Amino acid sequence: MTETLTSRQTPFLALDLVQMKANVAALRARLDGLGVPLRPHLKTVKCIEAARHILAAPEGPATVSTLQEAEAFAGAGLRDMIYTVGIAPGKLDRVIALRRAGVDIAVILDSLAQAQAVAGASRRAGLEIPALIEIDSDGARAGIRADNPLLTEIGGILHRDGAELRGVLTHAGASYACFTPEAHRAMAETERRSAVTAAEHLRTAGLPCPVVSVGSSPTAHTATDLSGVTEVRAGVFTLFDLMMVGLGICDIEDIAASVIATVIGHQPDRDWIVTDAGYMALSRDDGTASHPVHNGFGLVCDLDGRPYPDLIVRSTNQEHGILTLRPGSPATLPALELGARVRILPIHACATVAMHPNFAVLEPGTDRIAEYWPIMRGW
């Protein structure tokens, strides 16, 4: 018997495939207009079936965040990947195994020690492991600055000691703290300029730099000039979430994944509604806490996706979600009876997806579940 939004046991993760495909098509069209290809980041969906609707071709290109993802996607035919977490020496054997299986997987690094480890592993294996040097374009996470003298030293080790210097890569994580179109455009240009400058330093030193890779979902949607860039990476755009809404990158209607939950109780003296979707279903990502509008741990909608005015997930326990009105709201708490179902929009889609074993893929325009798509777990 076909399950529906009202018959499947909650909590579960619902996917609007039509909306996901529209999100992908919109970004591809935008980047096509700027003359730069998209290398989608599959860490958001962690799903082979979803990837088939995201990738330009079954063999890639793509981006992954774990070697478990790389191995699973390779088993499904993906052949062109960048593993965009700084490489640890103990993981190089898995990279080598993938390359021996015909997968063109590249790693990233930002230190002499990593470069030496990659070069040494390449020599021992008798193959060249491709590596991109991670550039710090915003001070938000990892990488080295484009003007750091270590850049050419690292590049030289890779190029001359047995590995392959494939290029440079950066991620504008600070774009998640930009709230105006002007700030987003400025961050996108900072990201582009940092990567292109690093590439120029390598080339001036006589080193190859075929790939200049940039990307975050905010900058991918706001960049106006990608001169010198060879590819753009982005991931959360596939599903979107309330962080992207808060940054002005998308609208609530663009969010393609949501958690279906059931009302399991009330605390009338506190104006609480209790659901069965706690942090094991929603995650505890509170990424809108610094936004002008804070959505707690999720925005609560009816099953048709219409938000209840100012109703958010205020707090979570392992299997309990507490729904309340946003502080200061003039709205009235909706009369959601025991057993009523709600749709909760995620704060951060990547974190929420990782909490679930599968996507419940909806038939277009109905509440029926057409398919279940497994979601990967592990590293």
122 falls within a domain: yes
Do 204 and 262 sit in the same domain of this protein? Answer: no
Q: Are 261 and 341 in contact (CB under 8 A)?
A: yes
Q: Are 105 and 75 in contact (CB under 8 A)?
A: no
34 falls within a domain: yes
How many whole angstroms separate alpha carbon 212 and alpha carbon 219?
15
DSSP string across 316-373: E-SS-EEEEEPTT---------TT-EEEEE-SSHHHHHTT-SEEEEEPTTSSBEEEEE
| The domain boundary residue, chosen from 203, 238, 273 | 238
Give φ, ψ of 300 to 5 degrees: -100, 130
The CATH number linked to 114 is 3.20.20.10
Helix (H) and strand (E) counts in the chain: 11, 17
| The domain boundary residue, chosen from 212, 238, 264 | 238
26 falls within a domain: yes
Do 267 and 164 sit in the same domain of this protein? Answer: no
Amino acid at 300: V
Do 87 and 202 sit in the same domain of this protein? Answer: yes
Do 57 and 166 sit in the same domain of this protein? Answer: yes
* Interaxial angle between packed helices 112-125 and 150-160, expressed in degrees from 0 to 180 and rounded to the nearest 10: 0
pLDDT at 260: 98
pLDDT at 140: 85
Do 183 and 215 sit in the same domain of this protein? Answer: yes
Q: Are 278 and 320 in contact (CB under 8 A)?
A: yes
Do 289 and 353 sit in the same domain of this protein? Answer: yes
Residues of the chain with pLDDT under 70: none
* pLDDT tens per residue, range 2-40: 999 999 999 999 999 999 999 999 999 999 999 999 999
Quick one: tokens of 261? 């939950």
8 falls within a domain: no
Quick one: tokens of 40? 């989608």
275 falls within a domain: yes
- Range list of β-strands (E), 191-238: 211-214, 231-234
Do 113 and 188 sit in the same domain of this protein? Answer: yes
| The domain boundary residue, chosen from 204, 238, 272 | 238
294 half-sphere exposure, CB direction, 13 A CA radius: 16
Q: Which residues on neighbouring strands pair with residue 301, listed in sequence order?
A: 307, 343
- What distance separates the 2 farthest-apart alpha carbons in the chain? 71
379 falls within a domain: no
The CATH number linked to 357 is 2.40.37.20
Do 140 and 50 sit in the same domain of this protein? Answer: yes
Q: Are 191 and 214 in contact (CB under 8 A)?
A: yes
pLDDT at 226: 98
Do 109 and 205 sit in the same domain of this protein? Answer: yes
Do 98 and 152 sit in the same domain of this protein? Answer: yes
State how many domains the chain has. Answer: 2
Do 127 and 212 sit in the same domain of this protein? Answer: yes
How many whole angstroms separate alpha carbon 366 and alpha carbon 187?
40
126 falls within a domain: yes
Q: Is 269 exposed, middle or buried (0-12, 13-18, 19+ CB in 10 A)?
A: exposed
243 falls within a domain: no
Considering just the CA atoms, what is the radius of gyration of the chain in Å?
22
Do 229 and 253 sit in the same domain of this protein? Answer: no
**Domain region containing 96:** 21-238
